[in-house]
Amino acid sequence: MSSPATSSDREKVVSKLPGWLWQTLKVRAAQRRVEIQTAVERGIAAWMALASARGTVDTSGADSFSTFLPSGQWEAFREAASDRGVSLTQGLAQSVQLWLEMNPAPAVNRAKHPRRRIVCNQKGGVGKTAVAAGLGAALAEDSEALHPVRISKHFAARLEDVEGPDPLELEELPGLGRRTLLVDFDPQRHLTKQLGQQEIPMTPGTDSLCKYMTGEAKRDIRDLVVPIQDDRYGGRLDLLPGCQDGFLLDVALSKVRFREAALERALAPLEPFYDEIIVDCPPSLGLSMDAAIYYGRRREDEDPGSSGALIVVQAEDSSADAYDLLIAQIEDLRNDMGVEIDYLGIVVNLYDPRRGFIATSSLQAWIDIKDPRVIAVIGDLTDQRKAVRLRQPLLSFAPRGEQAATMRALAREVS
């Protein structure tokens, strides 16, 4: 049946479609950046152009489905279905299936090098670990499912009035489906603990990331990697756990030849297996931080902004002091070694405008920097704290929460 047209050239039509096919259509249309009504229109047109009906599609349990089609198309479709001896539900299911076959899911682009995100700030307690974990999970989420994302064409436009409500709306988008490695490079091991994994023991004969950096490790570094078990990541999210021996790393690195490249040498065997490597850095300005920054430099055949420093701050004054120290360290390394180090952006974490003038004015000061620009503001909500307490990734604990939606937006900002 059909209802009155909503415009001069389209009419609303109501039929039935099995739930599994409707869900696949929603995901594929989002992947191909096509409106659902356009996908159905093209599928019906292609189906009517066939010489005969296709193989039967299982339509058991079909439920109500509606869309808008060009005026007259549904009536022509009725006649074609009648001529072929199939029901409207079966004909529509075949049309949708045909469009899906004509428009396969886009493949994830695999770059020559994994993108290397160095999540950093000299100040502790700003939430670097939470951002690193959330970003990694968002990058790895299933590309065959839809997830709520808080999207903006130009992020700063939403912040003209930092005290006002967030004007952005949620959009259901497919996951990014990236093979992602989270590296716990902080000797406090918060990332390992937050994800519910066992830290590497600091015992004789046990390899750790630090030992690979100093050349003392004996086995393959791949043996240290552990998967994050959750169907939404589909085996794409892994962790290189932390070890307490990181507290001794700066002293050990002082004796290592070309110490700036120590982290790169250690992680090189892992790079072919990942699209993204996210390094959760310690709140330090020492030699280990130099190695992390150098690892995030732009390589000769990399596009600008593919890798680099992602700086996490809070909307308060001490974060600004720590930010200045970090920027000075990055610029010194860039100048001393003649390398390009890109700034991926600033993430303002744990923001709560109810804290008054200090919070809102500090946020505005971050926005005013422009380069690097603010690419995400993550609210101070309970989801992250609860996820940490339960030792679960945020996107596993509260996949449809506000913070999860913002993490997905952040993943798209740096992709």
Mean pLDDT in consecutive groups of 10 residues from the start of the chain, 415 residues: 53 93 93 93 95 89 93 94 93 95 86 93 88 97 93 47 53 94 95 95 92 94 96 96 92 92 97 97 92 96 94 87 92 94 95 87 91 92 92 95 94 92
Cβ atoms of 192 and 228 closer than 8 Å: no
CA distances from 313 to 138, 286, 287, 323, 324 (A): 20, 19, 22, 8, 11
pLDDT of residue 3: 42
Q: What share of the chain is helix, strand, coil (3-state, %, to 5)?
A: 45, 20, 40
Peptide bond into 372 cis (omega under 30): yes
CA 324, CA 313: separation in Å to the nearest integer? 11
**CA dihedral (75, 80, 82, 87) positive or negative:** negative
Nearest CA to 57 among 26, 13, 12, 87? 87
pTM: 0.85
Q: Which residues contact 153 (CB under 8 A, 6 or more apart)?
A: none
- Phi then psi for residue 250, to 5 deg, are -60, -40
**Structural domains in the chain?**
2-102 (1.10.1220), 115-413 (3.40.50.300)
pLDDT of residue 160: 45
Distance, C-alpha 125 to centroid of its chain: 22
Containing H/E element for 408? helix 402-413
Where would I find the H helices in 257-316? Answer: 262-267, 287-295
pLDDT of residue 355: 85
Nearest CA to 413 among 348, 321, 336, 338? 348
DSSP 165: -
pLDDT of residue 159: 47
CA 92, CA 78: separation in Å to the nearest integer? 10
pLDDT of residue 315: 86
CA 412, CA 410: separation in Å to the nearest integer? 5
- Phi then psi for residue 376, to 5 deg, are -160, 145
pLDDT of residue 4: 42
Nearest CA to 69 among 37, 116, 111? 37
Residue keyed to tokens 């030792």: 391
Cβ atoms of 3 and 9 closer than 8 Å: no
